[in-house]
Amino acid sequence: MAPGLLPALAWRVGLALLAALFLGLTLGGLAWWLFAATLGLLGYLVYSLWGLERWLRTGKRRSRAESDGVLGAIYADIMQLRQRARRRKKRFHRLLREVRDSTDAMHDGGVILNADMEIAWLNDAASRLLGLDPARDQGQHITNLVRHPDFVAYIEEAEFSEKLKMPGPRRNTHLSVQLIPYGNQQKLLIVQDITREVRLEHMRRDFVANVSHELRSPLTVIAGYLESLGDERSLDEVWRQPVAEMQRQVARMNSIVHDLITLSRLEAAERPAGQEPVDVPDMLDQLHREALTRRERPSELELRLETTARVRGEEQELHSVFSNLLNNALRFTPPEGRIECRWWQDEEGVHFSITDTGIGIPETLIPRITERFFRVDSGRAREVGGTGLGLAIVKHALLRHGGRLEIRSRPGEGSTFICHFPTARTVLPPPEAEAAAPSPG
């Protein structure tokens, strides 16, 4: 083991001084001998330092004696540090290889993007799913390579709390992507292959749509016969009530089939709704008038049209939205209750709200009531004649218009359903149409 720097140096200085003292005393000129010894020591130190510097720079040692000399301790410490660094580097490389092997074995793709959205690293699955080349595409902006408009919009909007579903670069493939920000403005792009799920979903949708279409014709025939049977004067009295009940059930099945077809159509639509300006105030006015003619309705039923703004979209779908919400309010509000509809505009867009003082919905169930066939109280909902598909239709139709549904409710107090439409879908009628429009109220 190398001695410490100080003892090695002290030993050599002591020896040189002793030699100078001895020579000075025997030969005379002590001061000169001491000076020569100091100079010699300095020279030796400079030479040793030069050797050390050369070794650090080139890794070459002139002789073993050199590293055993006065700087032996420093040589030994540096060697130890180097060995430790080498071991650490080996461990780091092993770890890196393991991380790389495990991420390459993953089915999900991972792409690390820097602050400028350029690719810093990607695993095998990402290169396969996104059609990227790890060697060629490193340093490229991600949207130069993944160019689907939905993906570009997702990156530009910088709102990464939700996953994005989009078609993959290979035919008939579907991907789900999500960007997760981390560290110093870096981002991890997670890519999942959802082709199987999308295919199954399409199969389910097609199946429901086909079954609904197939049921329509036999139901029409049965409804026709039942109607004739109900009108038959010679019909035995005991059959009158069962026939009336059968007519009610067939009508219910017809509404379910009708709603299933509407929902399948909305779900299957790939593009957003069209851009035709729809005169929503006029539509609401008509729905309001129809509701007023109903025998069973809450005593107070009010409509406040605060804007003449229209919505760009599909007339039939918007009609479904408002009629479903109004029908629900009518069905779930007692005769002594109150319903108020409002159509207004602000800087965020145009909005429709319908507030009732009906039975309300428990807070925990609010997120679920837009699911197909979900009912708070299925017995009661059936009694009041629902299909369980109304709010699912509302939600999908709104989504196709870039809108969203907001629900506030308290059991026993009532509910408010609000449809928000973005400014991009809002349009004011031409001045001459506005002059002819019904006055709000």
User: Which chain residues interact with ligand ADP by CB under 6 A?
Assistant: 324, 328-329, 332, 356, 358-361, 369, 374-377, 381, 386-392, 415
Separation in Å, CA 58 to CA 54, 69, 72, 196, 275: 6, 19, 18, 59, 74
Q: Name the nearest CA neighbour of 366 among 299, 329, 425, 417.
A: 417
Shortest spacing between CB 335 and ligand ADP, in angstroms: 15
| Minimum distance from residue 293 beta carbon to ligand ADP (Å) | 20
Amino acid at 237: E
Which residue, 24 or 388, is less far from ligand ADP as judged by CB?
A: 388
The CA distance from 427 to 349, in Å, is: 10
Among residues 16 and 389, whose Cβ is nearest to ligand ADP? 389
**Taking a C-beta distance cutoff of 8 angstroms, is the pair 303, 372 a contact?**
no
Q: Work out whether strand 404-410 and strand 338-346 pair parallel, antiparallel, or are unpaired.
A: unpaired
Contact 353, 418 (CB under 8 A): yes
Q: Take residue 208 and report the two structure tokens written for it.
A: 């429901």
Could you give the CA distance from residue 380 to residue 383 in angstroms, rounded to a whole number? 5
- Residue whose Cβ sits closest to ligand ADP: 386
The CB-of-256 to ligand ADP minimum distance in angstroms stands at: 9
Shortest distance in whole angstroms from residue 305 CB to ligand ADP: 21
Task: Report the residue number, 258 or 375, with the smaller CB distance to ligand ADP.
Answer: 375
* Residue (197 or 363) nearer to ligand ADP, CB: 363
Closest approach, Cβ 160 to ligand ADP, in A, equals: 31
Q: Which two tokens stand for residue 374?
A: 């979900």
How many helices (H) and strands (E) the chain has is answered by: 15, 13
Q: What CA dihedral angle connects 239, 244, 248 and 253, to 10 degrees? A: 40
* Residue number, 332 or 421, with CB nearest to ligand ADP: 332
Residues 305/284, Cβ–Cβ less than 8 Å:
yes
* CB closer to ligand ADP, 123 vs 324: 324
Q: How far is the CB of 416 from ligand ADP (least distance, A)?
A: 9
Least Å from the CB of residue 375 to ligand ADP: 3
Residue 191 or 284: the one with the smaller Cβ distance to ligand ADP is: 284
Q: Identify residue 203 by its one-letter amino acid code.
A: M
- Nearest CA-CA partner of 308 in 288, 278, 286: 278
Quick one: which of 409, 392, 394 has its CA closest to 352? 394
Query: By C-beta, is 111 or 250 nearer to ligand ADP?
Result: 250
Rounded distance between C-alpha atoms, residue 405 and residue 397, angstroms: 10
Q: Report in angstroms how near the CB of residue 99 gets to ligand ADP at its nearest.
A: 48
